Amino acid sequence: MGFFLETLIGGLMTGVLYALVALGFVLIYKASSVFNFAQGIMVLFAALAMARFSEWIPGWLGLDNKIVVNVLAFAGAAVLMFVLAWLVERLALRHLVNQPEATLLMVTIGIGFFLEGFGQSVFGSNVYNIDIGMPKDPIFLLQGVFEGGLLVDSQELAAAVIAALLVTALVLFFQKTKTGRALRAVADDHQAAQSVGIPLSRMWVIVWFVAGLAALVAGMVWGSKLGVQFSISTLALRALPVVILGGLTSVPGAIVAGLIVGAGEKLSEVYIGPFVGGGIEVWFAYVLALVVLLVRPQGLFGEKIIDRV
């Protein structure tokens, strides 16, 4: 039982990070009906920016306080993601209103290739470190319940706590703030939102910036664990089944689906993998998403589309 719980907890903590990346897809799709294929590159670009800023800022400002440097590097990367959001809206989205979704998808693919090349030119293509002080020693929980306790990776636990805090902040933002309610109105009906005075272009900038912040936090966490390298951009491919499973239009669905996929990957690799030759963790999420699509094409929490003719 203890080993099962250790595996389950590890999977859930990984699932929180998957949910964080999936939220970027969902937020942008809800507000602008754009499937942002560049979300994975945004994670990489934001992580590269923070890693390089944390190296450059001590030389620029003469600082040696790691906490202050990290805060400034995060703020600088966040500003960069806001500029990116503004440029995407100004140069692309406002000129493609009411265009086919395939056209918008191709635009996001182009944005992804541009960010990948631009990131290498400006920040370099080496492996960089982000040190935010995450603990590295394992910890033991519930030692009074299980003999020896449950072994938990403290780094994964810290990463899951950071991701959970951002997810909670996003939920509160959408539920409690005026801007969040306006974004929900835009997601429900663009034309109705415009008719009551909600500026569509400003909402698009905000939602791309929020998705950029989610990408920045995901990149910061993954970069501190594995180092900032271009393989981080493939993280979006791991989050795609989460988006499909939860539904393209559901923020809670992304969170729940992330937990399901994270836990399912770990448990299936441990308990089913030995019978099928291993490697099940790589494709488990895609098979699960395919099965769900056969039964419920809009995902577990997605809105059912009804076309009236």
Render pLDDT for 219-259 as a digit per residue (tens, 0 to 9): 888 888 777 877 777 777 778 888 888 888 788 888 888 88
Give the domain ranges of the chain.
2-12+28-234
Indicate the SS3 state at residue 150: strand
Q: Compute the half-sphere exposure of residue 190: CA atoms within 13 Å on the CB side of its CA.
A: 13
Compute the average pLDDT of residues 196-208.
Answer: 81
Q: By 3-state DSSP, what share of the chain in percent is helix, strand and coil, each rounded to 5? A: 75, 5, 25
- Give the CA distances from residue 155 to residues 231, 239, 253, 260, in Å, rounded to whole numbers and listed in that order: 20, 20, 26, 21
Compute the average pLDDT of residues 277-284.
Answer: 78
Given a cut of 80, is residue 23 above it in pLDDT? Answer: yes
Tell me what pLDDT residue 142 has. Answer: 67
Q: ∠ CA(237), CA(171), CA(40), 5° rounding?
A: 20
Render pLDDT for 66-89 as a digit per residue (tens, 0 to 9): 889 889 999 999 999 999 999 988
Give the count of beta carbons closer than 10 Å to the beta carbon of residue 83. Answer: 12
User: Which residues, listed in sequence order, are joined to residue 151 by a DSSP beta bridge?
Assistant: 140
Phi, psi of 119 (to 5 degrees): -60, -40
How far apart (Å, rounded) are the C-alpha atoms in residues 245 and 254?
A: 8
What would the DSSP string read from start to end of 80-136? HHHHHHHHHHHHTGGGSTT--HHHHHHHHHHHHHHHHHHHHHHH-SS-B--------
Tokens 């500003």 belong to which residue? 79
Give the count of beta carbons closer than 10 Å to the beta carbon of residue 59. Answer: 8
Given a cut of 80, is residue 268 above it in pLDDT? Answer: yes
- Give the CA distances from residue 94 to residues 32, 34, 41, in Å, rounded to whole numbers and listed in that order: 11, 12, 22
Indicate the SS3 state at residue 141: strand
Helix axes 2-32, 235-246, angle to 10 degrees: 80
Given a cut of 90, is residue 62 above it in pLDDT? Answer: no
Tell me what pLDDT residue 80 has. Answer: 93
pTM of the model: 0.85
What would the DSSP string read from start to end of 287-304? HHHHHHHHH-TT-SSSPP
What would the DSSP string read from start to end of 162-204? HHHHHHHHHHHHHHHSHHHHHHHHHHH-HHHHHHTT--HHHHH
Tell me what pLDDT residue 79 has. Answer: 94
CB 39 within 8 A of CB 275: no
Render pLDDT for 26-57 as a digit per residue (tens, 0 to 9): 888 877 778 888 888 888 889 899 999 998 99
